[in-house]
Amino acid sequence: AVVSTQSGHYAGNFTAIGGQLWGTPALMGNSVIFKPCDTAMHSAYVLFQLLQEAGLPDGVVNFVPADGPTFGNTVISNRNLAGVSFTGSSPTFRTLWKNVGSNIENYRTYPRLVGETGGKNYHLVHPTADLVSVVNGTILSAFEFSGQKCSACSRMYVPAAVWDKIQDDLIIGTKNLKVGPAEDVKTFTSAVIDANSFNKIKGYIDFAKSDSSCEILAGGSYDDSKGYFVTPTIVLTTDKNCKLLHEEIFGPVLTVYVFDDNNWDETVELVNNTSPYGLTGSIYCRDRSVLEDTHNKLRHTAGNIYFNDKSTGSVVGQQPFGGSRASGTNDKAVSLNLVSKWTSPQAIKETLVPLTKHTYPYMEQ
C-alpha cells in the first residue's frame, strides 16, 4: 500500500494537491491510504466522494482522517508499506524518513518516499528588468492566497537604483489590496487557515516591528476577532542575514533586501546560500547573457525557476512542480517521473528456441 498524507497548514495550498497525492499512486495500481490535513478535511472528503460516485472501487483509496503521530506510527510499522506521498513541513517529512529508515528491515520492499515540503522563494531583480512586471508579479506571488502557497515569493532582492523606481508602486499596490471574506469576488485575499498559522505569522511581524534592521513599509496589522486575518505586509531589512530572509513564514509577508548596484554577483551568491530551501525562484532580467549566467549560479536554488515571471503559477501539463534541498525530493508532481515512481517495473525475457548446449563455440575448437 502507498500512504498519502497532508500535514499542517500546507493543506492551505490547493485541494488539487490532496487529489494528486493519492490519485497518482492509485492510477498506477496501488491501494492507497489517504490521511487529509485536519484543517482541509472537508474539501478532501468532497473530492473523495466525487470519485466514489464516479465509480472508484472500495478499497482502492481509503480516506482515513487521524491524529498525525498515531497515523504515522501505525502505517510506518506495517511491513506492507510500499511508499509515502507527502505534502507538509520539512521537519515532519524528515521524521517520516527517519522512521522509515529505522524500520527498513521489516518491509517487504524498500518504500518509495516522495515529499513536497517547504520553500523560501525569491524574486531577484536585475537593472534591466521590466519594472511594471516586477511590481505586479511580486504582489501576486507574495500576497495571493494570503501567501499560503509553498511557491509564494517571500524574499526579494533589488538593486538600490531599481528600488528607488519601484518602491512606491509596490507599497501603494499592496496597501490597496482588498482583504475580506472569500465569498466576495472582489476580495483579493482572505484569512489564513487557522490559529496556529495566524500566531506564527504574527510572531514574525512582531519581530519585524522590534528589530532595528527592519522597517514595515506596508501592512503589519492582524486581527483574529473573527477569522484569522493578516494584512499583506512588506518588510524592508538592511540585514542580509535577517531571519525573515531565510525562515519560512507561509503567510502574506514579503521581506525586501536592497543591495548596492555594483554588488550583483555577491547578491546572486547571497540568494544561493541564504535559505536551506530550493523550491521556486524568479530572475527578472532582460539581458540574456546575465540571465543565463545567473541561472547557472542559482541552478540548485529552485526546482521551478522563472524568467521574468512570478515564482508562482505553475500550470499542470506545462511546468511539473517540485523542489529539492529542504523543499523535498523534487519528483515533479504531474510528471512521468512521478508516475513511474508508483510502479515497480519488471523486464521479461522469453526464449522460444530451446537451448541445446551449455558450452560456447570457442570451447569446442
Among the listed residues 210, 233, 234, the one whose alpha carbon sits nearest the alpha carbon of residue 221: 233
* 183 has catalytic annotation: no
Question: Rounded CA gap, 233 and 139, in Å?
Answer: 10
Contact yes or no for 282/311 (Cβ under 8 A): yes
Q: Any residues with CB less than 8 A from the CB of 176 and at least 6 apart, and which? A: none
Considering the candidates 116, 144, 214, 285, report the single residue annotated as catalytic.
116
Of 37, 150, 214, 285, the active-site residue reads 150
Burial class (CB in 10 A: 0-12, 13-18, 19+), 143: buried
Mark whether 37 is an active-site residue. no
Q: Cell triple for residue 296? A: 547557472
Assign 3-state DSSP to the chain and report helix, strand, coil percentages, each to 5: 40, 20, 40
End-to-end CA distance of the chain: 55
Tally of CB atoms within 10 A around 255: 27
133 close to 232: Cβ distance less than 8 angstroms: no
For the chain, how many helices (H) and strands (E)?
10, 16
Pairing of strands 153-159, 121-125: parallel
Pairing of strands 222-223, 112-116: unpaired
User: What is the identity of the amino acid at 274?
Assistant: T
Identify whether the C-beta of residue 232 lies closer than 8 Å to the C-beta of residue 130.
Answer: no
In angstroms, rounded to a whole number, what is the distance separating the alpha carbons of residues 218 and 236? 10
Rounded distance, CA 100 to CA 153, Å?
A: 32
Contact 119, 151 (CB under 8 A): yes
E strands, 43-187, in order: 61-63, 83-87, 112-116, 121-125, 153-159
**Residue 178 grid cell:** 482588498
The catalytic residues are 116, 150
